[in-house]
Amino acid sequence: MNALREILALLHLYSQQFKTTFASMVQYRISLFIWMISQILEPLVYLIVWSTVSNSSGGSVGGYTARGFAAYYLVLMLVNQFTYTWIMWEYEYRVRQGLLSFALLKPVHPIHSDISDNLSSKIITLPILMFVAAGLALIFKPTAAFNWWAGLVFIPALILAFLVRFLIEWTLALAAFWTTRVNAINQVYFILMLFLAGQIAPLTLFPHWLQIVADILPFRWMLGFPVELLLGRLSHAQALLGLVAQFTWVIISLVLIRVIWRAGVRVYSAVGA
């Protein structure tokens, strides 16, 4: 009964946060627009580069044709949009400006307002990006070996990818408790993300040893895995293994958050809030 009441209260909080996020976002239509352009341009550049490479090397690179790359990058654009967070940039500001003090005064864990704020902004931006992706599909004519089971498994894979990425980035953002130079950490993280999540190229184009590294680290499970899954490039066994890996990373990051959050708040409340 109590658990149910807790869940209802959280859902209520999430829906109210949606209204707040929505109201804030429409205040900044222009910057929102510019930010969306950058979200579109990055995969678009890789798409154009790889299509050109593929066309000039006999129509295919590592099993991807130009149209195959088109499918990969259009889906990547959408999955990236769905799993993207900006929390690592924001936390340092919060700690430095003392905004975290207000969050700590509230009788609810601050992660909830971040999750709901993130989800809310996605609900708002995703339809626009899907529209853009549909337009780009008319130009680049993507093809993929889509199948129904993969389409079904894609949904939990996408949600888990969001959770892994959100929880890991929220944990890393907590570095702001210990240092004000979080930018260095963020840079390293984004470079790893670029290579090991499948952003700069599909992971199957990399040497075998690097693919093993990517399987062990969390990055692939935040982005590349659901993309490959939806495009029908994974076997049943690979799909199942992926879900298990994602689930494991969710558990690991939940444990990390618990430990690091407590330690971080202790530091914050020791040096001055």
Partner 1 sequence: MTEPAIHLHELCKTYRVPERESGMGAALKSLFHRRMKDIKAVDGLTFDLNPGEIVGFLGPNGAGKTTTLKMLSGLLHPTGGEGTVLGSIPWKRERAFLRQITLVMGQRNQLVWDIPAADSFELNRVIYRLSPTDFRHTLNELTELLELGPLLKKPVRNLSLGERMKCEIAAALLHRPQVVFLDEPTIGLDVTMQRRIRAFIAEYNRRSGATVLLTSHYMADVAALCKRVIVIHHGRLLFDGDLSALVQQFTAHKTIVVQLEDCHADLHTYGEVINCEDGRFTLRVPKAQTAHVTERLLADLPVIDLLVEDPPIEEVIDQVFTQEAA
User: Minimal distance in Å, beta carbon 253 to partner 1?
Assistant: 23
Question: Is 27 or 235 the residue whose CB approaches partner 1 more closely?
Answer: 27
Question: Is 55 or 101 the residue whose CB approaches partner 1 more closely?
Answer: 101
Q: Which residues bind partner 1 (CB under 8 A)?
A: 9, 12-13, 16-17, 19-20, 23-24, 27-28, 97-99, 101-102, 104-108, 266, 269-273
User: Minimal distance in Å, beta carbon 264 to partner 1?
Assistant: 13
The 3-state secondary structure of the chain reads: CHHHHHHHHHHHHHHHHHHHHHHHHHHCHHHHHHHHHHHHHHHHHHHHHHHHHHHHCCCCECCECHHHHHHHHHHHHHHHHHHCCCHHHHHHHHHHHCHHHHHHHCCCCHHHHHHHHHHHHHHHHHHHHHHHHHHHHHHHCCCCCCCHHHHHHHHHHHHHHHHHHHHHHHHHHHHHHCCCCHHHHHHHHHHHHHHHCCCCCCHHHCCHHHHHHHHHCCHHHHCHHHHHHHCCCCCHHHHHHHHHHHHHHHHHHHHHHHHHHHHHHHHHHHHCC
Other Cβ atoms closer than 10 A to 7 = 10
Question: Is 41 or 108 the residue whose CB approaches partner 1 more closely?
Answer: 108
Question: Is 252 or 265 the residue whose CB approaches partner 1 more closely?
Answer: 265
Question: Is 7 or 9 the residue whose CB approaches partner 1 more closely?
Answer: 9
User: Minimal distance in Å, beta carbon 4 to partner 1?
Assistant: 14
Q: What is the dihedral of CA 40, 42, 44, 47, to 10 degrees?
A: -150
User: Minimal distance in Å, beta carbon 183 to partner 1?
Assistant: 19
Question: Is 65 or 101 the residue whose CB approaches partner 1 more closely?
Answer: 101
User: Minimal distance in Å, beta carbon 100 to partner 1?
Assistant: 9
User: Minimal distance in Å, beta carbon 24 to partner 1?
Assistant: 5
